[in-house]
A and B are shown apart, each in its own frame.
Chain A
Amino acid sequence: MNKIKDHLLRGILWFSSLLTIVILVTIIGYIFVKGYKLINFDFIFGDYSPTGGGGIWPMVVTTIYTIVISLLIATPIGIFAAVYLQEYAKQGRLVRIIRFATESLTGIPSIIYGLFGAVFFVATLNFGMSIIAASLTLTIIILPVVIRTTEEALKTVPQSYREGSLALGTTKLQTLLKVILPSAVPGILSGIILSMGRIIGESAAIFLTAGTVAALPEGIFSSARTLTVHSYLVTQESGDIELASAIGIVLIVIILVLNLTATYISKKLNKAD
């Protein structure tokens, strides 16, 4: 009797795993099969044409803009915030509040970020629907990721480095800049890469803050659309699954490369320990 039950349960485990794999492979496979024909040099580097057949270069540029701007702002803030939490703060109420806020930010859905960005950056600060409004919204979205990964990286820096440096009559700041942060670089880097993935995958928040203008942005105050928003819009508006899939391929490849880089870096980090 027990044996039958065992076999049944084992069967369910196998079946579920097979199902998971089949589903995920089907999705990736479908997107590749549907989209690969469109992928060529002109598709990626060509200008967009609303009548179809054009490229995605404006969206690539917009995506790069949002990544660069939000990382430029979030990375230093996030690193220094983590430095404060790990190196400077005394445990207490203030630290608990900061940690609570950081964790809460992680859980907020992107549509709420979108609402906030729309009322705060777009309207109140009067940036209008723009790359800068979207990037600032994204900055808040990735801030917790940068803080958390940097904190983890700082934790791996041996206490003896800090003591060794301070015992030589250096200041905390010197110790931080010359010894601690350099040792934490790999961990921080993989955090930054993870944030890039998050930015690329984001859609709802950008949709409400950057708008949908499908043209090469003139500057950071232009409204524009990112790759992910583009793939949503071509599906929603024209049902162009092939185009959406082709964009999907580009997105998946970027995410793949980012993840492999992050894994490579963190493996190197572990070896160095």
Chain B
Amino acid sequence: MSDSPIEKSNKRKYFLEKLSGRFFLFCALISVISLALIIGFVFFKGLTPFVADGYSFVDFIFGNDWVPSEDKFGVFPMIVASLYATIGSLIIGVPIGLFTAVFLAEIAPKPIAKILSPSVQLLAGIPSVLFGVFGLAVIVPFLQNNLGLPKGQSLIAVIIVLAIMMLPTIVTVSETAIRAVPKSYREGSLALGVSEIGTIFKVVIPAAKSGIMAAIVLSMGRAIGETMAVILVAGNSLIIPTSLTDSVRPLTTNIALEMGYAAGTHQEMLFATGIVLFSFILILNFVLAKISAKGGQ
């Protein structure tokens, strides 16, 4: 029995239906493929020296000297620099950003908040390089002159630039979290005779905790991963920083500075530096996932 024209056209439709479904699945899998390729290539390249060439991973992580010409690859100073820079910027950036978010969400007169909130949000989109340019042009000379440093490019300059850079993110994300706190919480507290400020600090901020934590983790990821802005103000010396005014070289800048000319084992060690950075980010993502799972409950 031959098919009628309508049945034939329907057959074509079902075929297209199946084909398009497969195609959409393929597109969706590109994320997975990309992630696999990224992890695969970076780890393959970065682990080669330790797996194939007999370099010690422990020496790499805890070694103090990074002298590629002498075959010495120790990233400990960079790990320390990255951690100091990230933690330092959080210490400055989080409270200022959080208090600004509280102000915008709770205290600021409506017309002011209506202008400021989107403006701050807009600043989150500014290329981070520009923060580095500002840092080099203003913050570095300021530190150099006022602290009497030989060179203004230092850990503290990195910390300040990163803190400024993360401000818009912290403000925007925490403001959203604070605004999401139900009105009834505030009313409940105010009805008990607690002052407005008391309510904010005792009830609203704790209620928005998971959103605020997400903002912090997000900024932390940005800070530890930031590269070009940091190069401009870090000084890039290969020492373990002992004071805020020391010149530093965080993990990211090490990669960007040397990728241009590195070859062979040297280049692979830069990928290994990437793995260290990657591991920090993975830990952060894990924490973030935990937090957002908690927030969802």
A and B touch in the complex (CB under 8 A): yes
Chain A residues close to B by CB (< 8 Å): 2, 5-6, 9-10, 12-17, 19-21, 23-24, 27-28, 30-31, 34, 76-78, 80-81, 83-85, 87-89, 97-98, 101-105, 107-116, 118-120, 124, 140, 143-144, 147, 171-174, 197, 200-204, 207-208, 228, 231-232, 235-236, 239, 241, 244-245, 248, 251-252, 255-256, 258-259, 263
Check B259–A118 contact: CB distance below 8 A. Answer: yes
Check B227–A107 contact: CB distance below 8 A. Answer: no
Distance of A17 Cα from B139 Cα, bound (Å): 20
Check B270–A115 contact: CB distance below 8 A. Answer: yes
For B22-38 the 0/1 string (1 means CB < 8 A from A) is 01110111111011111
- A201: contacting residue among B31, B128, B133, CB under 8 A: B128
Distance of A235 Cα from B284 Cα, bound (Å): 31
Check A108–B278 contact: CB distance below 8 A. Answer: yes
Q: Which A residues are CB-close (under 8 A) to B45?
A: 115, 119
Distance of A113 Cα from B133 Cα, bound (Å): 23
- Kindly identify, within residues 252 to 297 of chain B, every residue whose CB is under 8 Å from any CB belonging to chain A: 252, 255-256, 259, 270-271, 274, 277-278, 281, 284-285, 288-289
Check B28–A31 contact: CB distance below 8 A. Answer: no
- A111: contacting residue among B13, B118, B137, B227, CB under 8 A: B227
- A235: contacting residue among B23, B167, B232, B255, CB under 8 A: B232
Check A80–B31 contact: CB distance below 8 A. Answer: no
Known A2-B195, A20-B97, A232-B228; judge A27-B164 contact (CB<8 A). Answer: yes
Closest partner residue, chain A, to B98 (CB atom)? A16
Distance of A101 Cα from B30 Cα, bound (Å): 9
- B271: contacting residue among A97, A119, A200, CB under 8 A: A119
Distance of A204 Cα from B195 Cα, bound (Å): 48
B123 at the interface (CB under 8 A from A): yes
Check B41–A12 contact: CB distance below 8 A. Answer: no
Q: Which B residues are CB-close (under 8 A) to A21?
A: 100, 116
Chain A nearest CB from B287 CB (Å) reads: 11
Check A248–B133 contact: CB distance below 8 A. Answer: yes
Check A27–B134 contact: CB distance below 8 A. Answer: yes
Check B138–A147 contact: CB distance below 8 A. Answer: no
Size bracket, chain B contacts: 35 or more
Query: At the interface, is chain B mostly helix, strand, loop or mixed?
Result: helix
Q: Which A residues are CB-close (under 8 A) to B252?
A: 109, 111, 204
For B1-39 the 0/1 string (1 means CB < 8 A from A) is 000000000000110110011011101111110111110
Known A21-B116, A201-B126, A255-B126; judge A207-B228 contact (CB<8 A). Answer: yes
B130 at the interface (CB under 8 A from A): yes
Check A115–B227 contact: CB distance below 8 A. Answer: no
Check B122–A256 contact: CB distance below 8 A. Answer: yes
Known A228-B129, A235-B133; judge A13-B102 contact (CB<8 A). Answer: yes
- A244: contacting residue among B133, B196, B227, B278, CB under 8 A: B133
Check B125–A259 contact: CB distance below 8 A. Answer: yes
Q: Which A residues are CB-close (under 8 A) to B197?
A: 5-6, 9-10
- B103: contacting residue among A5, A13, A112, A245, CB under 8 A: A13
Chain B nearest CB from A269 CB (Å) reads: 17
Check B167–A241 contact: CB distance below 8 A. Answer: no
Closest partner residue, chain B, to A244 (CB atom)? B133
- Kindly identify, within residues 121 to 171 of chain B, every residue whose CB is under 8 Å from any CB belonging to chain A: 121-123, 125-134, 136-138, 164, 167-168, 171
Closest partner residue, chain A, to B255 (CB atom)? A111
Q: Which 5 A-B pairs have the closest CB atoms?
A: A109-B225, A16-B99, A80-B27, A84-B24, A201-B127
Check B28–A89 contact: CB distance below 8 A. Answer: yes
Distance of A204 Cα from B252 Cα, bound (Å): 9
Closest partner residue, chain A, to B228 (CB atom)? A203
Distance of A258 Cα from B122 Cα, bound (Å): 10
Q: Which A residues are CB-close (under 8 A) to B98?
A: 16
Closest partner residue, chain B, to A172 (CB atom)? B17
Q: Which residue, B23, B164, B255, has most C-beta atoms of chain A within 10 A?
A: B255
Distance of A166 Cα from B198 Cα, bound (Å): 55
Distance of A195 Cα from B64 Cα, bound (Å): 40
Check A9–B201 contact: CB distance below 8 A. Answer: yes
B107 at the interface (CB under 8 A from A): yes
**29 A-B pairs (CB sep. < 8 Å):** A6-B197, A13-B102, A16-B98, A17-B100, A17-B103, A20-B167, A24-B120, A27-B134, A31-B133, A77-B30, A80-B23, A84-B27, A98-B28, A98-B32, A105-B31, A105-B35, A107-B284, A107-B288, A115-B255, A115-B259, A116-B42, A173-B17, A201-B126, A201-B128, A207-B256, A208-B259, A231-B129, A259-B121, A259-B125
Chain A nearest CB from B261 CB (Å) reads: 12
Check A108–B31 contact: CB distance below 8 A. Answer: no
Check A110–B227 contact: CB distance below 8 A. Answer: yes
